[in-house]
Amino acid sequence: MIPITPTISIDPSEIRVEFIRASGPGGQNVNKVATAVKLRFDVRNSPSLPENVRGRLIRIAGRRLTSEGVLIIDARRYRTQDKNRQDAIDRLSDMIRRAAARPKPRTKTGPTPASRERRLEGKRCRAKSKALRKMLSVSED
């Protein structure tokens, strides 16, 4: 089991890892060794994830999630398969950890008395400057 949080752990059989050829540095190995990792994790059908974490993970994943609900992570940062595999698993763990953190609910706040006074003072100031632009009517007595 891969521990994510104290309550969530993922069975390694739920993760499919595929090795592909990586672009970028590699010298003579560039056309011979498949060092990049493509990790696939079925978010929608995973029995390891609670329902609320699953919903948040789907939102966090964004474009990395396929229409079938499979999360795909590409890891090609390192030149070895082992480091790239570990990097992909670490990135998956980090995403699930972020999804497991319950978002803090927003508490409504009202404007402070000082900000209300500043707003009303600004309105009075604008009204006064506009009133000064008015044409004065000349009364003929």
Spatial neighbors of 137 by CB under 8 A, at least 6 apart, are none
Q: Which two tokens stand for residue 12?
A: 């390694």
| Sequence ranges of the domains in the chain | 2-100
129: exposed, middle or buried (Cβ count in 10 Å: 0-12, 13-18, 19+): exposed
> pLDDT tens across 55-81, in order?
888 888 888 888 888 888 888 888 888
Residue 97 to residue 70: CA distance in whole angstroms: 17
Domain 2-100 bears CATH identifier 3.30.160.20: yes
Is residue 54 a contact partner of residue 47, using CB atoms and an 8 Å limit?
no
> pLDDT tens across 17-26, in order?
888 877 766 6
Residue 78's identity, in one-letter code, is: Y
Identify the weakest region by mean pLDDT among 12-16, 77-81, 86-90, 136-140. Answer: 136-140
